[in-house]
C-alpha cells in the first residue's frame, strides 16, 4: 500500500528550530517511529510530506539504513494550509500499483503496526475506507465521530461545530485514515477551505465518501495513547515516559527484572537474556545486548555494548563500544571506551578507564588506572595509579602486556613497549624499554634519608 506521512509542521509550540518530527522519543526522532510502524504494517511506497526544515527531514529519512530508498518519495507543502493540503501535495507521488493509501502523522510516535494492519484489513474491499478512532473519557478539543444506525462513520464534527448531544460522544477522530488510492486523490482535489482557519481539512473526505454512498468503517484503537500526537515539549516528555514504560513492560514480560520502570531509559535497542537485573537510573543507547544473569547497577550508561553472561556492572559506570566476556566485573565509576574487549572474569574497578584495548581472562585493573591502546594477557594484575602512555603528541602507540604479569602501583608504561610473560614491575616504575620475562624491573631513584635535616619555618614578623 501507499503511505503518506505528514511531516511538514514547524511545531511552533515546541519553541525550537528543530523540525517537530525530528524531536526524539527513545533516542529516535518521532518520524522514525512512524516510518518503522508503516513499514512493519506493509508500506511499499512512502511519501513524506515536508515543509519546515525540509532539508533536515529529508536527510534524516535518507539516512535510515533499514528504509528502502527506492520506496521513498518527498512532497513539499509550502505554505502549510492544513492536513488536506498536505495530502494534496502528496497525491501525484502515490503509486497506482497499490489500491490503498494510508495517511499517518509524523508526530504520533507510539502508533503500533498491529493497529495499522487492523485498519488496512478493514479497508481491503475497494469500495470501503476506514478511519482510526479512539475512546476518550474527556474528549474536549477533539473531533467527534458521527456514525449511522448501521455503525458506519458518516463524518467527523469539530467540537466548535458540534451540538451538545454530539459533544457528549466520547469516540473521537485520530486523523489517521486509509482509502482507495484513486478515490483519495479525487477527494482531496475537491477540498475547499471555507472555514475560519482558511485551511483544507483531510477529515472532509469522510463526508465526501459517505455522500457517495461509500461505507466508511471506524476502527477503534485499543490504546488511546498510541494515537496521541506531540505538540509541546511537555507532551514530548510525557510521551517519552509512555514509550519507556512500554519498553520496560516488554522486557519484564520476557524475564528481565527492572527495579523501577519510571527510572529506566532505552534510546535504541536493548536485548536481554533471562534473569537480567537492571537497577534505577540506567540509560541504554544504540544497540546493547545483555546475556543471561547480567546485573546492571544504578545510574550506569551503556552505549553499543555486548555484556557476557553473569557479568556485573557496578554503579555509575559508563560503557561505550565495549565487549565483555562472561563473569566480568566493571566499576563502580569505571569507564570503558570504544574498542575495549574484556575476556572472561576480568575486573575493571573504580575510576579506571580502558580504551581500544583487549584484556585477557582473569586480568584485573581495580583502581585509578588508564589502559589505552593495549593488549593485555591473562591473569595480569595492574596496580593502582598505573597508566599506559600511549600518545607522544602526534601518534598513538601500543603497549603489550603478556600473561601473568604483575604491575606495581603508580607505574607508567611509555609505549611502544612490551612487558614479557611473568614479569614484575616494581611500584613507581617508568618503563621505557621492554621488560624481560620472569624478572623484576624497577625504575626509581634510590631512597635516602638525610640526618640533621630541618624543615623550613616561616619567619616571624
Each residue of 17-66: pLDDT tens digit?
999 999 999 999 999 999 999 999 999 999 999 999 999 999 999 999 99
Residue 433: phi, psi to the nearest 5?
Answer: -130, 165
Distance CA 210, CA 349 (A): 69
From 227, 256, 273, the end of a domain falls on: 227
Q: Please, what is the end-to-end C-alpha distance for the chain in angstroms?
A: 93
Cell of 85: 493540503
The last residue of a domain, from among 227, 257, 275? 227
pLDDT tens figures, 54-112: 999 999 999 999 998 889 999 999 998 999 999 999 999 999 999 999 999 999 999 99
pLDDT at position 69, please?
83
Are 295 and 214 part of one and the same domain? no
Is residue 236 situated within a structural domain? no
* Position 20 in a domain: yes
24 shares its domain with 131: yes
Please tell me the total count of domains within the chain. 2
What is the model's pTM? Answer: 0.91
Q: What is the mean pLDDT of the chain?
A: 95
Q: Is the pLDDT of residue 348 over 90?
A: yes
Q: How confident is the model at residue 126 (pLDDT cuts 50, 70, 90)?
A: low
Percentage, residues of the chain above pLDDT 70: 99
Q: Are residues 206 and 253 in the same domain?
A: no
Whether residue 196 sits in one domain with residue 264: no
Give dist(CA 110, CA 117) in Å, integer.
Answer: 15
Q: How many whole angstroms separate alpha carbon 453 and alpha carbon 12?
A: 75
Is the pLDDT reported for residue 417 higher than 70?
yes
Q: Are residues 215 and 252 in the same domain?
A: no
Kindly report, residue by residue over 309-328, the tens digit of the pLDDT: 999 999 999 999 999 999 99
The answer on 54 and 133 residing in a single domain is yes
Kindly list the distances between the CA atom of residue 191 and the CA atoms of 38, 162, 174, 194, in Å, as whole numbers in the listed order. Answer: 26, 21, 19, 9
The whole-number average pLDDT for the span 126-154 is: 90
Q: Which helix (H) or strand (E) holds 165?
A: helix 164-167
Position 330 in a domain: yes
**Same domain for 209 and 252?**
no
Q: Which domain holds residue 43?
A: 2-227
CATH of the domain at 334: 2.160.10.10
Strands 381-382 and 2-7: unpaired
Is 266 found in the same domain as 181? Answer: no
Count the helix, strand and coil residues of the chain and give each as a percent rounded to the nearest 5. Answer: 20, 30, 45
113 and 151 fall within a common domain? yes
In a domain, 76, yes or no: yes
pLDDT on residue 218 = 93
DSSP sequence for 79-96: S---HHHHHHHHHTTS-T
Indicate whether 194 pLDDT > 90: no
CATH (domain of 27): 3.90.550.10
In a domain, 64, yes or no: yes
* Catalytically annotated residues: 367
Judge whether 13 lies within some domain: yes
- With respect to residue 239, please indicate whether it lies within any of the assigned structural domains: no
DSSP 367-427: ES-EEESEEE-TT-EE-TT-EEE-B-SS-B--EEE-TT-EE-SS-EEESSEEE-TT-EE-T
Q: Please check whether residues 158 and 276 belong to one and the same domain.
A: no
pLDDT in tens, 274-320: 999 999 999 999 999 999 999 999 999 999 999 999 999 999 999 99
Question: How far is residue 425's CA from residue 434's CA, in Å, rounded to a whole number?
Answer: 11
Whether 316 and 218 map to the same domain: the answer is no
37 and 156 fall within a common domain: yes
Tell me if 453 is assigned to some domain: no
Amino acid at each position: 500500500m501507499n503511505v503518506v506521512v505528514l511531516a511538514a509542521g514547524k511545531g511552533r509550540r515546541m519553541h525550537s528550530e528543530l523540525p517537530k518530527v525530528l524531536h526524539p522519543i527513545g533516542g529516535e526522532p518521532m518520524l522514525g517511529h512512524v516510518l518503522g510502524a508503516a513499514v512493519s504494517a506493509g508500506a511499499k511506497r512512502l511519501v513524506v510530506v515536508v515543509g519546515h526544515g525540509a532539508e533536515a527531514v529529508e536527510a534524516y529519512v535518507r539516512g535510515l539504513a533499514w528504509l528502502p530508498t527506492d520506496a521513498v518519495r518527498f512532497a513539499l507543502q509550502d505554505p502549510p494550509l492544513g492536513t488536506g493540503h498536505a495530502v494534496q501535495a502528496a497525491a501525484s507521488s502515490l503509486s497506482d500499483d497499490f489500491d490503498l493509501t494510508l495517511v499517518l502523522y509524523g508526530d504520533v510516535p507510539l502508533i503500533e503496526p498491529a493497529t495499522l494492519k487492523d485498519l488496512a484489513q478493514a479497508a481491503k474491499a475497494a469500495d470501503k475506507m476506514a478511519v482510526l478512532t479512539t475512546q476518550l473519557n474527556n474528549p474536549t478539543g477533539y473531533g467527534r465521530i458521527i456514525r449511522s444506525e448501521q455503525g458506519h462513520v458518516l463524518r467527523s464534527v469539530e467540537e466548535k461545530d458540534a451540538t451538545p448531544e454530539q459533544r457528549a460522544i466520547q469516540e473521537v477522530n485520530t486523523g489517521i485514515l486509509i482509502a482507495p488510492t484513486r478515490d483519495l486523490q479525487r477527494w482531496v482535489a475537491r477540498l475547499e477551505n471555507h472555514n475560519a482557519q482558511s485551511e483544507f481539512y483531510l477529515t472532509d473526505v469522510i463526508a465526501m465518501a459517505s455522500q457517495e454512498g461509500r461505507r466508511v468503517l471506524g476502527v477503534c484503537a485499543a490504546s488511546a495513547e498510541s494515537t496521541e500526537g506531540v505538540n509541546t515539549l511537555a507532551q514530548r516528555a510525557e510521551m517519552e515516559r509512555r514509550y519507556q514504560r512500554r519498553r520496560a513492560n516488554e522486557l519484564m514480560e520476557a524475564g528481565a527484572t527492572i527495579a523501577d520502570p519510571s527510572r529506566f531509559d532505552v534510546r535504541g535497542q536493548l536485548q536481554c537474556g533471562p534473569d537480567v537485573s537492571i537497577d534505577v537510573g540506567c540509560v541504554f543507547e544504540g544497540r546493547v545486548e545483555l546475556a543471561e544473569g547480567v546485573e546492571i547497577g544504578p545510574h550506569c550508561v551503556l552505549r553499543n555494548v555486548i555484556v557476557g553472561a553473569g557479568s556485573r556492572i557496578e554503579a555509575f559506570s559508563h560503557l561505550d563500544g565495549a565487549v565483555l566476556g562472561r563473569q566480568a566485573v566493571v566499576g563502580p565509576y569505571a569507564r570503558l571506551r570504544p574498542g575495549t574487549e574484556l575476556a572472561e572474569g576480568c575486573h575493571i574497578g573504580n575510576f579506571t578507564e580502558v580504551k581500544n584495548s583487549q584484556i585477557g581472562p582473569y586480568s584485573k585493573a581495580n583502581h585509578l588506572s588508564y589502559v589505552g591502546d593495549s593488549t593485555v594477557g591473562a591473569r595480569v594484575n595492574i596496580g593502582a595509579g598505573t597508566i599506559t602512555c600511549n600518545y607522544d603528541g602526534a601518534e598513538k602507540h601500543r603497549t603489550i602486556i603478556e600473561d601473568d604479569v604483575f604491575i606495581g602501583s603508580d607505574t607508567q608504561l611509555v609505549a611502544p613497549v612490551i612487558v614479557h610473560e611473568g614479569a614484575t614491575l616494581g611500584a613507581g616504575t617508568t618503563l621505557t624499554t621492554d621488560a624481560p620475562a620472569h624478572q623484576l624491573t624497577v625504575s626509581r631513584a634510590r631512597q635516602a634519608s638525610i640526618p640533621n635535616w630541618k624543615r623550613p619555618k616561616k619567619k616571624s614578623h
